[in-house]
Homo-oligomer: A and B are copies of this chain.
Amino acid sequence: MLRTHTCGELRSTHVGEVVSLCGWVDKSRDHGGTLFIDLRDRYGKTQVVFEPDAGAELYAEASKLRGEDVIKVTGKVIVRPEGTRNAKLSTGDVELQVTALELLNKCNNAPFSPSQQDLPGEDLRLKYRYLDLRRSEMQKTLVLRSSIIKAMRDYFEENQFIDVETPILGRSTPEGARDYLVPSRVHNGSFYALPQSPQLYKQILMVAGYDRYVQVARCFRDEDLRADRQPEFTQLDLEMSFVTHEDVMSMIDGLMKKLAKQFLNIDLQLPLPRMTWDEAMERFGHDAPDLRYGCELIDCTDLAAKCDFRVFKETAEQGKKLRGICAPGGGKLYSRKLIDELTEFVKQFEAKGLAWFRVEDDGKLFSPIAKNFTEAQLEEFKTRMQAKPGDIMFFVADTWAVSCKALHNLRKKIGVDLKLYDPKTMNFSWVVEFPMFEYDAEEKRWVSMHHPFTAPRPQDLHMLDSDPAKSRAVAYDLVINGSEAGGGTIRIHDWQVQQKVFGLLGIDEETAKNRFGFLLEALQFGAPPHGGIALGIDRVVMLFGALDSIREVIAFPKTQKAADLMTEAPNLVDNKQLRELGIKLASADKP
């Protein structure tokens, strides 16, 4: 090594030793002819000192150093003079009295400095990603990511899982999201697809008897990117044989307990709390509720039916729902102007309006629509909503689905506005028993809520014929702070049930055989009962690192337009390459 120690290593026990350090010039300052440089590497910072009597040439060389230059220094470790020790720095008791300096590489006119206070815009940070990655926050995050993944691997090894790599060059199946395709050179006209997940491979591994499989798997979806999505992402993927949902969930419970202890110093109580999907939708309007605060959705449809206010009454008569949430202490914050903004806000989620009642100091309800209700009716609403003076109640009268969507988002907003929870707290829970299917109004057909390989609850098997909408799956989502951190299911291991589910999804026998023939065969050649789960590692690291953007937890992320600004991918390629692949650009024919 060019160095004897890292920049985070020297302590008072090293005093007197002659050592060499390598690193980046972080800050430098001249105090009365003595030059102090903070030398930085991944491990920390050390103060290195160039004294005038160490030689004019050395001092002159050192004076020319600028931020981010890469240097090697050699010298003696000395105690810092009394009063100049830096308790904030792990190496702050000592400094290095430099006797030799080697400039390893110059940093010339970098577009920004990793130690500057105000960061430049994200595009510049992505273009010069190596400068951005040199920031200590980014280094901390990527070290956290590496450590979390290592802790996961250790945990699953202890639990006798086998790490198996599944192919990246796979088969395109038009179920689910859009595939990334890879044209084949050997088989012109055919394409590989990058995997959206190793779902079928891991099921095949169970059929092959591997019993417990785990993989940190790269997955790909060619979708228009939302803020927290990337074209390629990483999931902790696992599968177990001869298990029930209890076994998979308790395996993940144990993992979360370990990670929470190791990285957040939180002692989780196991088992993690569980809630059915029905309950989550009823109480929170969403299948990944944030349980760090209350402010639950409360159904008042029965009260609406009894009152004379037309909008409410008709809601009940039409089989729609009147549901509300009570914002504790929100009466003061939410002025008329802000309430108007909230009304616009819920309209984004298809609600037609937002009714509200403020509880005044005397307990009376104030609302522009109050005059439509009797005193007793108002009192009933207040009681049902458990509203207290200073609170404000909001109501959405609409279909169940719209009220879920609108009130869930309103609840999230209110939680932040009213600081209803400490953002540092962490909440882990499960949502279970999802519906097998949801109706896709656009495509006018049933689609799987998880995926087509999900097993129905045994007691719901008969409903596949009679009432598929009511059938519930053996499915479980891990929710952390209102984010879906992972989702899993017990899989179908009976080929006839699988065939039936394909049928319900509108995949006829021939299509099923064509796309999933190998699975249907595998289920007939000795498939054990099995199930598994996948956790979004990017998401987990974001949550554990209290970060806002997925691009902060990925070393080389892509923009929302799926571009890598540093390498300038995707890029144009030679015609020769396309010819070999048997493809041409659609635009090539245009004049």
In the complex, are the beta carbons of A561 and B149 less than 8 A apart? no
**Which positions 170-193 of chain A face chain B at CB distance < 8 Å?**
170-172, 174, 178-193
Question: Chain B residue with minimal CB distance to A224?
Answer: B186
> What is the minimal beta-carbon distance from A65 to any residue of chain B, in angstroms?
12
Contacts of A360 in B (CB 8 A): none
Count residues of A near B (Cβ-Cβ below 8 Å): 126
Given contacts A211-B42, A242-B22, contact A577 B181 (CB under 8 A): yes
Contacts of A563 in B (CB 8 A): 186-187
Q: What is the bound-complex CA distance between A22 and B209, given in angstroms?
A: 11
Q: What is the bound-complex CA distance between A247 and B566, given in angstroms?
A: 30
In the complex, are the beta carbons of B129 and A69 less than 8 A apart? no
Count of this chain's copies in the oligomeric assembly: 2
Contacts of A182 in B (CB 8 A): 180-182, 194, 570
Name the one of B41, B234, B579 contacting A165, with C-beta atoms under 8 angstroms.
B234
Question: Chain B residue with minimal CB distance to A555?
Answer: B164
Task: Identify the stretch in A388-396, A448-456, A521-529 within 8 Å (CB) of chain B at 4 or more residues.
Answer: A521-529
In the complex, are the beta carbons of A194 and B171 less than 8 A apart? no
Q: Does A119 contact B (CB under 8 A)?
A: no
Question: Chain B residue with minimal CB distance to A212?
Answer: B42
Query: Which residue, A131, A134, A570, has most C-beta atoms of chain B within 10 A?
Result: A570
In the complex, are the beta carbons of B525 and A210 less than 8 A apart? no
Q: What is the bound-complex CA distance between A209 and B142, given in angstroms?
A: 12
Q: Does A139 contact B (CB under 8 A)?
A: yes
Q: What is the bound-complex CA distance between A204 and B128, given in angstroms?
A: 10
Q: Does A511 contact B (CB under 8 A)?
A: no
Contacts of A72 in B (CB 8 A): 242
**Which positions 512-538 of chain A face chain B at CB distance < 8 Å?**
518, 521-529
Q: Does A581 contact B (CB under 8 A)?
A: yes
In the complex, are the beta carbons of B564 and A167 less than 8 A apart? yes
Name the one of B108, B164, B211 contacting A43, with C-beta atoms under 8 angstroms.
B211
Partner-B contacts on A (CB < 8 A): 1-3, 6, 22, 24, 40-43, 68-70, 72, 104-108, 110, 128-134, 139, 142-143, 145-146, 149-150, 153, 157, 162-172, 174, 178-194, 200-201, 204-205, 207-211, 218, 220, 222, 224, 231-232, 234, 241-244, 247, 493-494, 518, 521-529, 554-556, 558, 561-564, 566-574, 577-587
